[in-house]
Amino acid sequence: MNMGPKIGLCGSYGGMNLGDEAILEVILQELKKELGADVTVFSKNPEDTQNRHKVRALPVGEMHKDEIFAEFKKMDLFLVGGGGILYEGMAEQFLRQIQWARECGLPVVLYAVGAGPFSSAETKNMTRDTLNSVDMIILREQEAKKALNDIGVEKPMEVTADPALLLQPEPFEKEKLEKIGIQTRRNAPLVGFSVREPGQAAPDIQVEQYHEVIANAADFMVERFKAQILFVPMERRAQKDLQNSHAIIAKMVNAQSAHVLNEELHSSQILGLMKHIHFAVGMRLHFLIFAALQRVPFVPLPYASKITGFLQSLDMPMPPLKEINAGKLCAFLDRCWDGRQSIRQRLIEKMPPLQKQAARNIKLLKEFLKTYKKTRLIKKNPARRQQKRPARFQEENLS
C-alpha cells in the first residue's frame, strides 16, 4: 500500500517535446524513489503521458474548474514544473492552476522551473502576485531568478539545475542509424543538428534567415569535414521540428548527405543516440543537454535566456543568433571543431557539478516536507485521514 504523499504535478507535459518529457521522466522517478509518492500529472495529452510514463494523467485543458478542485482536494501537494513554463503567453495557464491550488489550501512548490521573458504589465503583475503566495520556489537557472526579481517576486528562491541532467540513456544500436542511410565511420563524422520553429518561446527568430544560415552551416560541415548530417527533431507536436528540418535540407547544396531522424523515440533513447554523434549544433536546450551528458562537443544557437543560462554554467562560448550570418557561424564552427577536445574536456569537468545541482531538487523538496506542518496538509476530516494514512509523512518516508 502506497503511504507516500499524493502529489499533483503540472508542466508542459504531453506536448511531444522530448525535453519536457525528459524532465517529467526524471521528476517521476525521484518522487517515487525518494518519497514513495502517488503522482497525478496534469497533461495536454493524458493518453500519451500514461503510456509513456506509466502514471495517472488528467486532461487539464478539458477540465472545468470544479473538476480540478475535486482533484486538488484529494492531494497533499501541488508541484509546478519543471521546465521553462513561466513566460509571456504561457505563464497564465500555470498561474491560474497555482491560484486554484491555493484556494483549496494545497501547499504549492515551483520545482526547477524557468521563467521569463515577460513583456506585458498584466503578466508581470499576475506572476508577481501569484508567486509571492506559493510555499517554495526552486528555479533551474540564475536568469530565471533575475527575471522574477525584476518583476517584484520577493519570495526566497533556490537556484538548482534542470532535472533532465539526471536522465539515464537507453541503448541505441548503430544498426538503427544504418536503416536511415547513415554509416558511422571514423572518416565520416556524424554531426547532429537540432532546430526549432518560431513561436512564443522564440519570438525573435526570422525563419527564412535562420534556415539559410543553418543550411550553409550544414553544407560547410559536409564539405570541410566530410560529415554526415543528422537532424534530430525534439518536438513532434504539429510536426514543427520535422518541417523545419526538411525545409533546411531543401536549401542545402549537399542535401544527399543530410538525413532526418523520422522514428519517434523516447527522451532516454535520444540520449542513447547521442553517443554515436561526433559533434552537435543545436537550438533546442535539451538537445544541448543530451549532447553534454554524452560529452559530445557542441555549438549552441542561443535564442533564449534558458540556453544562455545553461551555457554560462558550463563556461561555453556562444554565437549571438540575432547578429550571426552564414560566414560568421561557419567560422565559429571551424574554430569549435578544431577545439572539440577542449570542449569535451570542459564538459567532463563541468557536468558533474551541474548534475549535483540538479540532484538538489528532490533534496530541497524533502526538506520542505519535513518542516511543513502536518496540520496544513490535512484538509478535510483530520481524524479520519490520520487513521487511514497515519504514516504518509512519517520520517521514514522522507529520509
Q: What is the pLDDT of residue 144?
A: 93
Q: What is the pLDDT of residue 2?
A: 56
Q: What is the pLDDT of residue 374?
A: 56
Q: What is the pLDDT of residue 390?
A: 39
Q: Mean of the pLDDT values across residues 392-396?
A: 49
Q: What is the pLDDT of residue 354?
A: 97
Domain topology for 169-354: Rossmann fold (3.40.50)
pLDDT category at 232 given cuts 50, 70, 90 is very high
Which residues, in sequence order, are CB contacts of 344 under 8 Å at separation 6+?
295, 296, 297
Q: What is the pLDDT of residue 145?
A: 96
pLDDT category at 175 given cuts 50, 70, 90 is confident
Cβ atoms of residues 197 and 239 within 8 Å: no
**pLDDT above 50 (res 387):** no
Q: What is the pLDDT of residue 356?
A: 98
Domain topology for 6-165+359-398: Rossmann fold (3.40.50)
The C-alpha atoms of residue 126 and residue 167 are separated, in whole angstroms, by: 33
* Chain segment 267-299, per-residue pLDDT in tens: 999 999 999 999 999 989 999 999 999 999 999
The C-alpha atoms of residue 228 and residue 202 are separated, in whole angstroms, by: 28
Which residues, in sequence order, are CB contacts of 386 under 8 Å at separation 6+?
378
The C-alpha atoms of residue 326 and residue 338 are separated, in whole angstroms, by: 18
The C-alpha atoms of residue 250 and residue 254 are separated, in whole angstroms, by: 9
**pLDDT above 70 (res 344):** yes
* Chain segment 58-98, per-residue pLDDT in tens: 999 899 999 999 999 999 999 999 899 999 999 999 999 99
| Range from 186-190, 197-201, 312-316 that averages highest in pLDDT | 312-316
The structural domains of the chain, with segments of one domain joined by +, span 6-165+359-398, 169-354
Q: What is the pLDDT of residue 236?
A: 75
* Chain mean pLDDT for the chain: 89
* Chain segment 99-141, per-residue pLDDT in tens: 999 999 999 999 999 999 999 999 999 999 999 999 999 999 9
Q: What is the pLDDT of residue 202?
A: 55
Least confident of 54-63, 203-212, 239-248: 203-212
Domain 6-165+359-398 identical in fold to domain 169-354? yes
Q: What is the pLDDT of residue 64?
A: 94
Rg of the chain over all Cα atoms, to the nearest angstrom:
22
Q: What is the dihedral of CA 274, 81, 69, 58, to 10 degrees?
A: 0
Q: What is the pLDDT of residue 131?
A: 98
**pLDDT above 80 (res 342):** yes
